[in-house]
Amino acid sequence: MNLYTERSSNIRRTWALVVGFLAVVILVGYAISWYYGNPAILYLAIIIAVATNFYAYWASDKLVLSLNHARPATREEFFDFYTVTENLAIAAGLPKPKLYVIDDPAPNAFATGRDEEHAVVCATTGLLAMMTRLELEGVIGHELSHIKNRDMLLMTVAVVLAGFVALVANIFLRVSFWGGDRRDNNGNAILMVLAVVGIVLAPLAAKLIELAVSRRREYLADASGALLTRYPEGLASALQKIGGYGAPMRNANLATAHLFIGDPFGMKSGGSSGWIERMFSTHPPIQKRIEALLQK
């Protein structure tokens, strides 16, 4: 499998996961509506979840930069960062994104923003000091691919749906705890138990799908970034350095961990972690990403 087929495969798998995500949402909504015979709770949850996450998406760049204590990067201070991004943005047919840096020795980077016109690429000072120019091109190509592939939009949709499922399940449990009225289901005891179990487990299923979408987008950005730079070895070498650093970022945050090119909590992903750890990880193992990049 080469980079072109890997990219197509990742696109198909990502959208298959999104369809599965939508199925979970529909099933949860149906189960609660059936359980209570009243769709009002469902409508309220939808309004709250969509409104909250719409604001988060609209102001995503400001929120993420603030959470990670980022500052603007100037051409004079970070010449290679500025010129590499400028050149690759032209090659990708994108407007040059705003550039920010995080004062942190851990090598890492991310892209954010609601669309191509409002995109931001941010790198740590540790990454900019550690990478050669070819490695930096690999990292920037990866981040520009996130922008080109509209990953910020897709991940925002995933967050909306996961938040919606969690919120609806939480409302259901609270109403049930306080003795909310439910329809007479004496003849459907088994269905009622299955509905309750499904609603309780739905947030976990939604979170796992969200994380799976995030991991697939990393593979896709790796492949797309390598196609943009025409030098997959540069990104592979950069990932090796990022994965080998090991120490966490100073302000690692669960809310933004999925945005970074590498795990901001400093876990070395060599591919030997357990299946449970891999299932709940925001990133695929570094070694598997490197192997995918270097396949001919």
Catalytic residues: 143
- CA of 269: how far to CAs of 5, 63, 177, 233, 265, in Å? 24, 28, 41, 18, 11
Residue in 202, 115, 216, 198 with CA at minimum distance from that of residue 163: 202
Alpha helices by DSSP H, listed for 178-285, are 189-229, 232-245, 275-279
Residue pair 70/122 in contact (Cβ under 8 Å)? The answer is yes
**Cα–Cα distance measured from residue 109 to residue 210, given in angstroms and rounded to the nearest whole number:** 20
Q: At what angle do helices 286-294 and 232-245 cross, to 10 degrees?
A: 170
- CA of 156: how far to CAs of 52, 132, 160, 197, in Å? 11, 32, 6, 27
Token look-up 């179990």 returns: 197
**Cα–Cα distance measured from residue 278 to residue 90, given in angstroms and rounded to the nearest whole number:** 36
Please count the other Cβ atoms lying within 10 Å of the Cβ belonging to residue 116.
17
101, burial (CB in 10 Å: exposed 0-12, middle 13-18, buried 19+)? buried
Residue pair 131/125 in contact (Cβ under 8 Å)? The answer is no
